[in-house]
Structure 1
């Protein structure tokens, strides 16, 4: 009995708490957090194996499918062997010859000057009274600024000036020959043990100073020179050998990465239902590798991973709430729209997870490229149509982030998803016809492809794989995004009772059953509605309102007149006015009832509430002045109340409803204007707008004085095009 009472009290408490909007919104947020966390944590929570090397398997594990398993160790060895066989990249210094020739010239000039000053007994080369020959030689070496063996220096000082000049020329020639060969390095970076320097495919491979010196000695030995000059050159030329090539570390790394990509992975086949592990087997590295590539191995603590993911999802949800509080506070109060927003994000992630969970290809690099097929732009494009472009952009950031996490923490997939979503949002934001949806899909496909190509090149991915798999996947993603958007939009519009641009275009179709009925039963009203639509749409574009909503509202604003068409002057034949036979009060009741009749007809036909609101508000609580003044004139008791001759309202609550009210008033008045001219039209338009403003009909809308001026200009421009001056034809021409 006690438990039953506790259960009853708990139900009462929950029901009472559920009455508060905050409770419902918090519950909604928690549900979406749990749903998205479960989607993102699917890999952690699924039935995977938790095994380590050396552990004994508790059960038999078979291969779920046939696949070529990549042997990571052998693949790595094969790739490194190819890298070691590839020469590094060296940067050649083309100016080295000029600099070294300058050093040679300075060296020999110093020797010549020294010899001259010693012979003359002057200058720095003169023999000092207390200077020994060794000290004098040290002073010369200091002036030369190069470590010259003493025996070579003595030989250079002993030869004749002619031979010294000849030695300089030969030294310069040999050095120029050696340094003109690219690839001379300070110390050769050997690629593998015992690898000799060689030339392959016309490319000079690097060689070191020792090899260059041996080549110099060979040149000198084979030269037709005296033994004395050969000895001097053998000691002098090596002094001026300089490296002309320097190892380019970054270019070498890039080259090695490219070489690694060219080596195909070493694989071995595993067939479906083949036994990977038997119960009681000791787990080895090979077992771990096979299970990992089949996606059967769980790594890490699942509870910590799930908790981290829940924290990340909660952070994104908190940022979304903060964004809505800052920019769309009204949306936080609309639970229906919050459900739609959460549902779009959740369904986008479910779709992405479903695709990411399928093994599309055996090779990891190909699989990564194929994951670009995820239609990430679908959800953001739908949100742009159903809610708001800014909300769609924020949602695209969230979904792109989670798509990047799904695709093995890939920043490239997140970037492509975001860029595709962004262009999709902008493509549908200015919707004017259904073909715009197809164009949006094409735009997304093109941007996806360009982004995939750019990221593939910048990350040094295998270009062949990117071109064969990544770019086509991006194209398919764009088309799928458009297809899914078109297919789901009508259901979402109906389920959440949202009026989109697509719905408004459908309502503006003349073949709609209500418009066809209006055309057949009240043709005057039909043509009046078309003109009101043209006026209202032009004004809406001028002030930044919704032109499609204004046009649709204008087409249906007088739909209630089909109940009693003859009572409205635009549908009357000349000389037949039924109001002449009834009291002004009854006429007023008939005239004003077309608003209520129109609202009922629109609701029966399932028209959106935004259009129904325009129908209901398009007269506000305006006075039916014609019948009011007739009633006053005919009444002798002064019992006529002005309120009885006004529409029930409400006054226009939005810019769009106010524009329809003004366009309706202006079109009817200008139609009755005798011999309309541009000046007459503008004067009447501005007077009518001012009258409505003074009557308070616009006080609940968001129209400003600047808006009203733009509206008047737009009305005048359209009306001048309709009621322009025509040429008066001669009678003969008229008869023809």
Structure 2
């Protein structure tokens, strides 16, 4: 058992060491606003450009708000409309009350109002709203000369009508004339009990006093902005793109891109990633050991087989890491996981070979910059290689097996290419076919 524990610890440390190699690049020293001195910096992996993406998201959100600002579905009646209506009403009838009193004091009852007084009243009303320019002089004269009882009744009815209209009806700047045209129907509502003789004066006063009462529905606007931001396709910095060349002035955009790539300020990331990889590796090894202990316990007694299983796993991961460090894209499709699955099938049973191959495909996905597409590709390729080993008895069947595996790889690349929007599918087809043999 001592040797098995040593093997387990050694394999664990080797796997963690392989996974963490070059996962966090060396820190690059740059100074904002100063020329960069050093080798050209290229993106070691594909990441999202957060600065550009955020800028596009903000532009999309602003554009969506601009397009929706005049649409009724994104507007609601302002909670201040009732207060504004009451204030306007009080200002208008303060003027009327004062002028009625002034008219009574100067002229007495049943004496016509002078044109000068009517112009003075209109001038005061214009300080409340410019729409009083269109209010007929006859209406002003009628309001000033109404008997007190009729005036108070009209005043009370107008307050009720005006406040109700401004707090219940959506009145936009574009549709305010339509609302004015429909005031007669509103006055006929039995709810208000308007006397026929009061209706013409009330209608003309309402036409002058109406104002747009809509404001933005902030909840719907925020939902619209969020939806617009979600529809923005993230701007990506592709692996190998030139970030900085010697002599370039370092800008805020350069700093943000380097930060996205963990090329600066990544000291904390190193520790976090190391422990995360250790836990990840321990978890996958635990799954494998759990399966062996409960379902294939006889293998534990076969020490040579354990050494070979561990060696194959470490070698496959080491080769995968070496190929990923080459930064040659087509090398990513030539990691010998399928071959490892075949060898594991010979050394043990297909079920155990499949478990190990599956776990190795997850680790290869981590090595290849957490590439989900390649993880799925190697999982399917490894599974197909193990399946093709069933009933393999003659040499000519090796050719059939290679053709089958190449076909599976080709179909997988096509499917994943359309699913993940992979570019350069043509070259990847060739690499997948070669990997099958």
TM-score band (shorter)? 0.5 to 0.7
Q: How does 1:90-109 map to 2 (within 5 A)?
A: none
3-state SS, counterpart of residue 293 of structure 2: helix
CA distance, structure 2, for counterparts of residue 391 and residue 380 of structure 1: 12
In the alignment, structure 2 segments of 5+ residues that lack a partner are 74-149, 184-198
Pick the aligned partner of 2:349 from 367, 381, 388. 388
Aligned residues: 327
**1:468 is matched with which residue?**
423
**1:256 is matched with which residue?**
229
Q: How does 1:585-596 map to 2 (within 5 A)?
A: none
Q: How does 1:634-713 map to 2 (within 5 A)?
A: none
**1:42 is matched with which residue?**
21
| 2:43 and 2:242 in contact (8 A); partners too | no
Give the root-mean-square deviation of aligned CA atoms.
Answer: 5.7
3-state SS, counterpart of residue 49 of structure 1: coil
The answer to whether residue 296 in structure 2 is matched with residue 317 in structure 1 is: no
| 1:349 and 1:402 in contact (8 A); partners too | yes
The 1:384/1:430 distance shift into structure 2, 3 A limit, reads farther
The 1:253/1:390 distance shift into structure 2, 3 A limit, reads farther
3-state SS, counterpart of residue 173 of structure 2: helix
| 2:313 and 2:360 in contact (8 A); partners too | yes
**1:28 is matched with which residue?**
7
Q: 1:356: Cα distance to partner?
A: 3.2
CA distance, structure 2, for counterparts of residue 358 and residue 372 of structure 1: 9
The 1:391/1:71 distance shift into structure 2, 3 A limit, reads closer
Q: 1:398: Cα distance to partner?
A: 1.8
Q: How does 1:273-292 map to 2 (within 5 A)?
A: 274=246
**1:211 is matched with which residue?**
173
3-state SS, counterpart of residue 62 of structure 1: coil
| 1:428 and 1:437 in contact (8 A); partners too | no
The 1:312/1:229 distance shift into structure 2, 3 A limit, reads same
The 1:43/1:242 distance shift into structure 2, 3 A limit, reads closer
In the alignment, structure 1 segments of 5+ residues that lack a partner are 1-21, 95-132, 142-147, 155-174, 176-185, 187-208, 278-282, 362-369, 457-465, 484-736
Any idea what the Cα deviations from partners look like across 1:673-728, whole Å, max 9, x if unmatched? Answer: xxxxxxxxxxxxxxxxxxxxxxxxxxxxxxxxxxxxxxxxxxxxxxxxxxxxxxxx
The 1:151/1:445 distance shift into structure 2, 3 A limit, reads same
CA distance, structure 2, for counterparts of residue 40 and residue 77 of structure 1: 32
**1:342 is matched with which residue?**
310
Q: 1:39: Cα distance to partner?
A: 0.8
Q: How does 1:494-573 map to 2 (within 5 A)?
A: none
**1:446 is matched with which residue?**
411
Q: 1:482: Cα distance to partner?
A: 1.5
CA distance, structure 1, for counterparts of residue 371 and residue 392 of structure 2: 33
CA distance, structure 2, for counterparts of residue 257 and residue 394 of structure 1: 38
CA distance, structure 1, for counterparts of residue 406 and residue 242 of structure 2: 41
3-state SS, counterpart of residue 211 of structure 1: coil
The 1:332/1:249 distance shift into structure 2, 3 A limit, reads farther
The answer to whether residue 383 in structure 2 is matched with residue 400 in structure 1 is: no
User: Which one has more relative contact order, counting CA pairs under 8 Å at least 6 apart?
Assistant: 2
Q: 1:85: Cα distance to partner?
A: 4.8
Q: 1:256: Cα distance to partner?
A: 3.0
| 1:453 and 1:467 in contact (8 A); partners too | yes
CA distance, structure 1, for counterparts of residue 387 and residue 299 of structure 2: 21
The answer to whether residue 160 in structure 2 is matched with residue 150 in structure 1 is: yes
The answer to whether residue 338 in structure 2 is matched with residue 378 in structure 1 is: yes
Any idea what the Cα deviations from partners look like across 1:194-231, whole Å, max 9, x if unmatched? Answer: xxxxxxxxxxxxxxx5335435347669xxxx977965
| 1:344 and 1:379 in contact (8 A); partners too | no
3-state SS, counterpart of residue 86 of structure 1: helix
3-state SS, counterpart of residue 22 of structure 2: helix
Q: 1:444: Cα distance to partner?
A: 3.1
Q: Rg: which structure is higher?
A: 1
| 2:361 and 2:379 in contact (8 A); partners too | yes
**1:726 is matched with which residue?**
none
CA distance, structure 1, for counterparts of residue 274 and residue 235 of structure 2: 38
Q: How does 1:704-723 map to 2 (within 5 A)?
A: none
Any idea what the Cα deviations from partners look like across 1:490-515, whole Å, max 9, x if unmatched? Answer: xxxxxxxxxxxxxxxxxxxxxxxxxx
3-state SS, counterpart of residue 43 of structure 1: coil
The 1:476/1:31 distance shift into structure 2, 3 A limit, reads farther
CA distance, structure 2, for counterparts of residue 268 and residue 313 of structure 1: 33
